[in-house]
Amino acid sequence: MVERKPGDAADIVILRPGDLGRWVARGTVPVPDDLRNSAHSLQWSRCLSVWSERLAGWGGTIHAIPLAGESYVLAYRTDRFAEAAKRWNRPVVPPASWEDYADLAARFASDGVPSLPAASKDADRTLREFHLIAACYDRLAMSATDFAMIKQAGKGTDLTVSQMGFHHDTDTGESRLMAPAFRAAAQWLRQTATARPQPSAPNATDAVAALADGKSAMAILSLAELGRLPKTEGALPRELDVAPLPGTKVWFDAAGKSYPPADKVAGINYVPYFGTAGWLAIVRPTATNPDTCFELIAELSGLERSTELLSDPTLGFGPFRTEHLDPSRDAIWQRYGFDAERSRKLALAVRRQIGAGLAFPAIGLRGPDRQTLLDMLSKHLSPAIEGRADAIESLQSADAAWRAEDAKRPKEPLKTERRQAAGLR
């Protein structure tokens, strides 16, 4: 899909979730209530709430309809893992935690071969792992059922507000980049720098090529990147496999105190992060027939058409409806080129990454200044990611840059914008 730019003459605009704020500022037609009615064929209630409520909404109003979700998996080379198991004389399995991921990457690299792709020059790609990790450190993975119980005890309102913010504080609108979760994520990126080749190495920043060639032992790939892995007669080599995204072994409160995860069995705190990819559709106020526009979008977003698009690996779309996560529909993933067993593992990894039963996923930047802030963050963190600077000092520089940018704007409107970006009124 091709994203339109503000000012283009179009009735319907396809955009990334992070860009909704700037389009709302220019004007959109809110999604009609009757389209979200249970009697409509779109079956709005079957859309995952993170998409139908938070990513498609702004200031308490639904402005967009989801067309595609975003998903990431841990892809790895079974041959590199098997070779390491022989050298180290112990089993080597895909890491369940980001801490174990870093340790395993370092162990691979100690054998003289980089185990991770080089840092990308693309800001979103560079910061992907930073955000995925920070989300898991930032809050307790709480189920919707657990939250309902807390709400019944009279603590739900304050908790909702505090858990909705991620990059910014929902009370003050100020940067949270120096929060413990972001500090831990920055240190993780600095720690893994020795496991990455220099960006100047041939094809080093192409995670797909590095994994396909065996230069990387493992990598975090989007479904779109997974779909780019080279196939022979439609099949992926047996040496390529997938696993769920890791979580963290602890999470932090605002004071920096660490706590164990609620999942005592797995010992992992996993919180999904959304907002980098996926697609939404909006209708412009200049549309001559907005009802027809909405019906067209609803057709694309409906179960039949969305499932067809989801199954195409050249698109790399992720789930956004509950039906997409139903095990009875695991055939969706067969066109990615895996055999039956690995297709099943891919379906499990996608379901885990979505975290449909969790109450407070982390949401990425969505304000009109999103790209400016991301570029600043990437610029200041890149030296640490490449092993050339201290992680905390780099993060402090990014935080100072964000605050200086915010100081250019009136405080109260900016605070309101931050709250709306987080999904609050």
Q: What is the fold, at CATH topology level, of the domain defined by 72-270+367-412?
A: D-Maltodextrin-Binding Protein; domain 2 (3.40.190)
Distance (Å, whole) CA 381 – CA 384: 5
Is 12-69+273-362 CATH 3.40.190.10?
yes
| pTM, two decimal places | 0.93
* 12-69+273-362 and 72-270+367-412: identical CATH topology: yes
Per-residue pLDDT of the chain (425 residues), as tens digits, is 445 455 567 899 999 999 999 999 999 999 999 999 999 999 999 999 999 999 999 999 999 999 999 999 999 999 999 999 999 999 999 999 999 999 999 999 988 877 998 877 777 787 999 999 999 999 999 887 777 777 666 655 555 666 789 999 999 999 999 999 999 999 999 999 999 887 666 666 689 999 999 989 999 999 999 999 999 998 999 999 999 999 999 999 888 899 999 877 679 999 999 988 999 999 999 999 999 999 999 999 999 999 999 999 999 999 999 999 999 999 999 999 999 999 999 999 999 999 988 989 999 999 999 999 999 999 999 999 888 999 999 999 999 999 999 999 999 999 999 999 988 87
Distance (Å, whole) CA 3 – CA 149: 41
DSSP 321-371: BGGGG-GGGGGGGGGGS--HHHHHHHHHHHHHHHTTTBS--EE---STTHH
DSSP 162-222: HHH-SSB-TTT--B-TTSHHHHHHHHHHHHGGGGS--TTSTTTT-HHHHHHTTS-SEEEEE
The domain ranges of the chain are: 12-69+273-362, 72-270+367-412
Q: Which of 368, 385, 375, 372 minimizes the C-alpha distance to 421?
A: 368
